[in-house]
A and B are shown apart, each in its own frame.
Chain A
Amino acid sequence: MKILTFFSLFSTFLSANSINVEENAGQFFSSGHTNNWAVLVCTSRFWFNYRHVANTLSVYRSVKRLGIPDSHIVLMLADDMACNHRNPKPATVFSHKNMELNVYGDDVEVDYRGYEVTVENFLRVLTGRLPPSTPRSKRLLSDDRSNILIYLTGHGGNGFLKFQDSEEISNVELADAFEQMWQKRRYNELLFIIDTCQGASMYERFYSPNLMALASSQVGEDSLSHQPDLAIGVHLMDRYTFYLLEFLEDIHPASKANMKDLFKVCPKSQCVSTPGHRTDLFLRDPGSALITDFFGSVRKVEITMETINLTDLIKEAEQKNIHTTANLQFPPLHLSSFLPYLTPYPQKPKQKDWHPPDGFILGLWTLILLVFFKTYGIKHLKHIF
């Protein structure tokens, strides 16, 4: 793959500007990953949780459209909505009203489904501790050059996410799984997105490097659903993922949209909840990380006739990498310094409800008293006090 792109860079393209070409070639190596993986999980069972399956499938559709092949996607769906007997149109899952967008498609590959979607299986997929006869389609075969997208949706609470209405994964377990992945060199960068109630609580405990996390709601907030459909009888999607899908539909493999755009995907006016994100563990500037670094795996290839000295560019890029990542690229493995319990991530102060200004209340009371005295007069005061 890499050799091919070298060739393509060396070969013919007449009208290219040499400075621009060098810059582009430098950018080509700046992200530092060579392959992309995605783990997309819906943890909810039963028909009324249709929207969670639609959430996951819409992300699946986007990453597949942007070039991650089925072999690099681990899709977990806890229930079968497409062929559910309550589905008026079998073999379809819609994300938009009036059956506009079928996110199920004609060549979907669900790797874990039904009862297979358990906390144990999810953690095993992440950490790679699967039985030896597990087929490749059910494995996350990533390495230290992989960018991984992890998307979770379901019902959750402060610090946990329910799986199948019978068990739950806690934020500490999740953080430890990511640390194990980091120590086993299973990822280069990891993007974690969760669409659940109090989603921000799930990434509070993360402590491994190169992680970026997004959530649909803050602690103490509910994530809300969107688009009730009368024909299907349930809500089609959750608000956060709906706007995420709208955003991703405009992305194409050569888009320059970056993570900062992703943070603004669903403003509070649309989401009702406050989407949160966490970038302190991420070593690059979120503004320089492209959406396609995580959501797609097709690299933009242009053909040029210019001669470019690639060694300089690579060195430059590497040095940049070293500068930024030297401290944390291979952190010392003293567990005590990484214990999440000692240094919990500072929670955002809980938002207070709106309160009328004090002067207003004082004035109101004065008004009440005035009316009172006006009606009863001062002489009745002794009856009251």
Chain B
Amino acid sequence: MAAHRCSYSALLLIICSLSMFIVADSQETTLTGDNHATELDNPQTATETAGQMAEQPAVEERRLWEATEVEEATPDDADTDKQDTSTPETAVPSSVPQPKDDFQEELVIRPLHSGDIYASFQFRTLWETDFMRGNKVSHYRLFPKSLGQVISKFSVRELHISFTQGYWRTMQWGQPFLPSPPGAELWVWFQDSVTDVDGTWKELTNVLSGIFCASLNFIDSTNTVQPSASFKPLGIGNVTDHSFLRYATLPREIVCTENLTPWKKLLPCGSKAGLAVLLKSEKLFHSSFHSQAVHIRPVCQDWQCKTTSWELRQTLNVVFDLHTPGQGKREWSLFKMFSRTLTEACPLASSSKIYIDITDNPQGEQFEVSPATPLLSQAMVLGDRRTFSVYDLTQQITFGTVRSLNLLIRWKSSEGDMLRPLLHGERYVAGYGLQTGEIHTLMYNNHPYRSFPVLLLDSVPWYLRLYIHTLTVASKGKDNKPSYIHYQPSKDRVRPHLLEMLVQLPPNSVTEVTVQFERALLKWTEYTPDPNHGFYVGSSVISSLVPSIVAMDTNSTREQPLFSSFFPCKEESSYFVRVYTEPLLVNLPTPDFSMPYNVICLTCTVVAVGYGSLYNLLTRSFQIDEPSPGLAKRIANIIRKMRGVPPL
């Protein structure tokens, strides 16, 4: 809470310093007098409703900032005026009603026990608009127009898209803030006014493939499913009719600079200022895990839900493998990781913060963070109470005298063990040969005494024909009967298998789900250009409400760090987790593609030699041709003829 108040007053600080320039000296004394009054009020108002309050002054402040751009270039004076806290203008909300936008940026850094570093960027743009009726919006400020148009044209209620390279190793790294499967994942809830959902979905994927430079146009009916329970809307609105939901994954999708560039362009500051300057593709893709996502959903502005707004969350998670054992010193810095340091926050952002997870390091015995910060924050994240050091980039003091922030972590010891993730999943293909096989899915419940139910979603392409009668679910050697099974069989070349199950996981156990399948033989043109590489089967999705050790925060409108506020929390005793298993790579029987040429060559030879000679025999007439005699013989014959002797 202290952090928030500090950030709030920091905003006011800057305003103050800017306005100082405009107003005359004589007014200054009166202003500061006012400021003290507002400051006194501040603690009371800010404690409970900091979230709501922060919105309006932030907007007001930005407008002021834009208007007085000239003064921005003189931060020295701003520093000197720092002692005066705030201006009266900020306390008074804007009287002109206009759609309010808000932008926040955040970077969380968590040293992982494997020695890697996990960095998670979150950028949130809020756009206050009545999304149910307001389809005719033409004014965009912070919200990217390209996505706004997509939402209104295709009547999208919620859109979640992620591009991931690499696989998140839950057992080594713990739970990510936002899970995503390898490759591309897209799931969309349409509004109930959409009549032709499949047609809209197809068009939407095409448009998104253009926006993100990705091959999302490969999403068609053969890899799209309608999960019945696993993917509930994350925003407001109680939609239960899953005919408006579409879910698809492309496990083979490549993620590279061309996907990152359009993603960065959606940010209000682009990659010019703020945390986004760190997003350099040479560094981001030189990592063990890279995931970027866009989540659009409608959210409430306040706890009564009087005003609604679109929330655009852009997240980027990356795990750097900077620790090479045996190299002695273990050190990490912003510059080493991103080849950049930070010099400013995005001027459009109402909040811009860096969090460093220091939960495992309360006394500083494991590692040392420099520059040190007095700001600490606690947040409930994935059923755990974590402590973070906070760096507020909207405050000039964060950057120090060198005007650049280069965070440095220096390890002293590498001991310590990780809290084992309570839920995690694995998957593999068993069997031999190219005819049949068996998919094994393992779900681990590491909770010592609580059992909890999980939803397992499996979407298998049609060319693996599941034998659903061989489906077995077993935990601790005993049969574990799922309480709910939703199975949709596949149709060849039309739709995939969809298998959803609700399974109760006993405490401290492994639950194994197996199902046998047969590999189909594809048509010649259905093979990919490199069929010997194999065919991918998307990750299974395990979604669950995992019992929490600490009480979770259920007040979703309270101001909290972005990374802990994505999945809405309904009860205090549990938290929502989604786990993705590995995608499968399955070999299908692959024909010898040069065979047609061989066949053609052989056939042509047979036709030419066999049929050709027979045809010749039947159609040609044969005559004995007398060879014409040589010149000497001919002369001799003429002489013999003259002599009356028979010719030679």
Residues of A bordering B, CB below 8 Å: 45-46, 80, 82-83, 89-92, 104-111, 113-116, 131, 133-138, 164-166
Contacts and interface: CB of A to CB of B under 8 A. Distances in A.
A91 B281 contact: yes
Interface in B260-297: 261-262, 280-282, 284-286
A23 to B, nearest CB: 42
30 contacts: A45-B529, A45-B530, A80-B256, A82-B256, A83-B165, A89-B282, A90-B282, A91-B257, A91-B284, A106-B261, A106-B281, A109-B261, A110-B213, A110-B258, A113-B213, A113-B254, A113-B258, A114-B215, A116-B217, A131-B206, A133-B202, A133-B203, A133-B207, A135-B209, A136-B210, A137-B213, A138-B209, A165-B530, A166-B527, A166-B593
- Sort A-B residue pairs by CB-CB distance and give the 5 closest, nearest first: A135-B210, A164-B529, A83-B256, A90-B285, A91-B281
B284 A107 contact: no
A116 B215 contact: yes
A58 to B, nearest CB: 16
A25 B257 CA distance: 41
Contacts of A134: 206, 210, 217
B257 A111 contact: no
B1 interface: no
Contacts of A106: 257, 261, 280-281
B119 interface: no
B619 interface: no
Nearest to B200: A133
Contacts of A133: 202-203, 206-207
B263 to A, nearest CB: 12
B206 A109 contact: no
Nearest to A83: B256
Nearest to B530: A45
B215 to A, nearest CB: 6
B536 to A, nearest CB: 12
Contacts of A83: 165, 254-257, 285
Nearest to B203: A133
Nearest to B255: A83
B218 interface: yes
A104 B257 contact: yes
A136 B207 CA distance: 9
B529 A91 contact: no
B26 interface: no
Nearest to B205: A133
Contacts of A164: 529-530
Interface string B206-222: 11011101010110000
Given A90-B285, A115-B218, A108 B257 contact: yes
B363 interface: no
B45 interface: no
Contacts of B628: none
B30 interface: no
B528 interface: yes
A206 to B, nearest CB: 27
A107 B284 CA distance: 14
Contacts of A166: 527, 529, 593
B215 A115 contact: yes
B529 A135 contact: no
A113 B184 CA distance: 14
| Of B207, B211, B215, B256, most A-chain CB atoms within 10 Å | B256
B271 to A, nearest CB: 9
A15 B490 CA distance: 77
A91 B261 CA distance: 12
A92 B213 CA distance: 17
Contacts of B282: 89-92
Contact of A91 (B210, B217, B285): B285
Given A90-B286, A106-B281, A82 B529 contact: no
Contacts of B285: 82-83, 90-91
Contacts of B210: 134-138
A89 B286 contact: yes
Contacts of B527: 166
Nearest to A163: B529
A130 to B, nearest CB: 10
B258 A109 contact: yes
Contacts of B165: 83
A164 B531 CA distance: 12
Contacts of B256: 80, 82-83, 91, 110
A105 B257 CA distance: 9
A94 to B, nearest CB: 12
Contact of A111 (B213, B255, B280, B529): B213
Nearest to A75: B258
B534 to A, nearest CB: 14
B132 to A, nearest CB: 25
Nearest to B210: A135
A109 B263 CA distance: 12
Contacts of A92: 282
B593 A107 contact: no
Given A107-B261, A108-B261, A109-B261, A114 B286 contact: no
A106 B258 CA distance: 8
Interface string B576-599: 000000000000000001000000
A138 B209 CA distance: 9
Nearest to B287: A90
A112 to B, nearest CB: 8
A360 to B, nearest CB: 38
A109 B165 CA distance: 18
Contacts of B218: 115-116
Contact of A82 (B206, B257, B280, B593): B257
Contacts of A108: 257-258, 261
A116 B257 CA distance: 18
A136 B209 CA distance: 11
Contacts of B529: 45, 115, 164-166
| Of A45, A92, A133, A134, most B-chain CB atoms within 10 Å | A133
Contacts of A111: 213
A207 B384 CA distance: 72
A28 B485 CA distance: 71
Nearest to B265: A107
Contacts of B202: 133
A111 B213 CA distance: 6
A135 B252 CA distance: 22
A133 B252 CA distance: 23
A114 B254 contact: yes
B286 A135 contact: no
A148 B262 CA distance: 25
Contacts of A131: 206
Contacts of A165: 529-530
A116 B213 CA distance: 12
A80 B254 contact: yes
Contact of A135 (B206, B257, B528, B530): B206
Nearest to A80: B254
A109 B262 CA distance: 8
A109 B213 contact: yes
A134 B206 CA distance: 6
A90 B285 CA distance: 6
Interface in B548-601: 593
Nearest to A92: B282
| Of B165, B282, B528, B529, most A-chain CB atoms within 10 Å | B529
A22 B306 CA distance: 67
B110 to A, nearest CB: 23
Contacts of B262: 109
B590 to A, nearest CB: 12
A106 B217 CA distance: 24
A198 B257 CA distance: 33
A89 B281 CA distance: 11
Given A46-B530, A114-B254, A134-B210, 20 more contacts: A83-B254, A90-B282, A91-B282, A91-B285, A92-B282, A104-B257, A105-B257, A106-B261, A106-B281, A108-B258, A109-B258, A110-B258, A111-B213, A114-B215, A115-B215, A115-B529, A116-B217, A131-B206, A134-B206, A164-B529
